[in-house]
Each structure stands twice: as structure tokens, then as C-alpha cells.
Homo-oligomer: A and B are copies of this chain.
């Protein structure tokens, strides 16, 4: 079933211990779409005037519907960052919102029958506006970040009420749930709306929490996907969005959303996040094959299964 995703398509300038890239294709919606496209049909809502045929070709090579990318006057969102001190955390040098500042996401008619909706990390007011245009979707997932948690809490809390699944990292979970203990913070976050919470731990994988768990029995319902033991992390940019694309793309490809489907989705998410780190920007996702993904999924099983 098709996924509609709203978020940023952007240019990134990135420096890591492995080298530097200027203005490569990036943005949360880009990583998410490329990653999810290995599992199901993906439709993007974004904005970017200076996206030319070269950028379009990247999406079209993966059969991603870009009719929802608005081409308004002005430069695309731009981010410059580095990972020279630590591959676990980006240092942001420069951000230009550009056309993103006045972005008013519009849902093309052709997207209306999407049964899955992903709200990538943008202003929660915009996330909510898209959510309201698609009241009947089967599953809604979303992302956010420390900036919205700190300075846009009321809008974020409104947005969270409309989510089935929230995907954020450890720090964001503790900040939003206002508790240094991750399990208790996760429970507090799920009380804000989402019945499922995926907490991403970077190189240590991710944890899926269920709000349905009775107090004290949380561990029995929790599921953990490990991180992949990569011999070289070239560029961690977009790893979290690629995780979300693999997780949500796999779910959208399944006939039924069983507990087993969510568990496998966690492994596919972790696999896609690990691929994203192997080259700069979206390079690895552009070259990837489904056979490679399934091979890595099987390695994940080996990494954690007893027998």
C-alpha cells in the first residue's frame, strides 16, 4: 500500500572523518522515500525551487511520485554540518530554511488514496495540517526533534495526538517524556498520543515500546533491534530517516499489521539505517538492491537469535 510522506528535500554540505561533500541531495523526506521505496510505493510532499532534472532523476529511478514537490521561487532548504568529533552527533554549522520558511504543504489528489502517512521532522503545525487532510489512513507515523520539543511544545503536543507511531532518539525521548529513565520517559511520551514509540539509539540500534503494556510488564512487550556492526561509518546523515523508511515501508508492504510485522519492521529499519551510513548522503541508498537488504535482514537475525 502506498505511503505519502511530507518533509524536507534539501541540499546538505557534510564533513566527516571520511571526507567532505558539498551540496549533496538530502533532507528527511528524501532519505525516507528512497529507503521506503524498496518496499512499497512512495509519494512525496515537499518544496524546492532549484530541484532540477538531476535531483528528480534520483527519485524517479526508485519510482517515487514527486508530483507533490512544489517548485516555488527561492532556494531549497540547506544544511551544513560535520561529524569530526563524534560520528554519533552532528555539529550544525549553518541552516538556511529558504523556501521552507513559507511552506504550506498541499496534498495532490493523486495521493489521497494513500493508506500510510509519514510526517517527517518539520514544524508540527505543518505535520498536523497534512494529517488533517488524510483522516482515514490506516497508520500514521512521525518524527520530531529537540528544537520543536523545546520551543514549540503546544503545537507538538497537538500533533502527537494524531500519531500512531512516533520515531525519535534517546535524548528526544528523555526530553519529551521529562524523565532520565528511558522506560518511564517512553511511557510518558506514549501517554501524549502515539500507541507505539520507536526510540533510536544510533549505533546501538533501536527499541520499540507499546503503550498497551500494563505497568511493570513493559519489558515483555518491548522489542529491540541491534545496530549493525559497521567497519566504517562514512556519513551518518539521514540514518534515522532511512531507519524510518525501512520500518514504515516494510509495514506498508504487509497484508496485516501483526506484532510479528512490527518486529520485522524494526530489523528492516535498522538494516536501512546501516546502509545509509556506508556512503555520503544518499549514495548508498541509490545503489542498493532488495537482495542486499534481505541479506542484511538475515544477518540481523543471526546477530540476536539464540538458535
Contact = CB atoms under 8 A, between A and B. Distances in A.
Interface of A: 17, 87, 180-184, 201, 203-205, 207, 216, 218-220, 222-224, 226, 228-233, 260, 263-264, 267, 299, 301-307
Given A220-B299, A220-B302, A304-B305, 19 more contacts: A181-B230, A181-B231, A181-B232, A181-B233, A182-B203, A183-B229, A204-B205, A205-B224, A218-B231, A222-B229, A223-B302, A223-B303, A223-B304, A224-B226, A224-B304, A226-B226, A263-B306, A267-B306, A305-B305
Nearest to A217: B299
A218 B230 CA distance: 9
Contacts of A303: 219, 222-224
A243 to B, nearest CB: 16
B222 A260 contact: no
A262 B207 CA distance: 24
Given A182-B203, A183-B229, A183-B231, A307 B260 contact: yes
Nearest to A302: B220
A301 B184 CA distance: 22
Contacts of A229: 182-183, 207, 218-219, 222
A297 to B, nearest CB: 10
A183 B305 contact: no
Report the 5 A-B pairs with minimum CB-CB distance, sorted nearest first.
A204-B204, A304-B304, A224-B226, A183-B231, A183-B229
A224 B218 CA distance: 21
Nearest to A232: B181
A173 to B, nearest CB: 12
A264 B305 CA distance: 9
Contacts of A17: 180
15 contacts: A87-B180, A181-B230, A181-B231, A181-B232, A181-B233, A184-B231, A205-B224, A207-B229, A218-B229, A219-B299, A220-B299, A222-B229, A226-B226, A267-B306, A304-B305
A30 to B, nearest CB: 27
B224 A219 contact: no
A220 B228 CA distance: 10
Nearest to A304: B304
A87 B183 CA distance: 14
Contacts of A305: 304-306
A203 B205 CA distance: 12
Task: Identify the interface centre among A207, A229, A231, A264: most chain B CB within 10 Å of its CB.
Answer: A229
**A182, A219, A228, most chain B CB atoms within 10 A:** A219
A199 to B, nearest CB: 10
Contacts of A223: 302-304
B183 A230 contact: yes
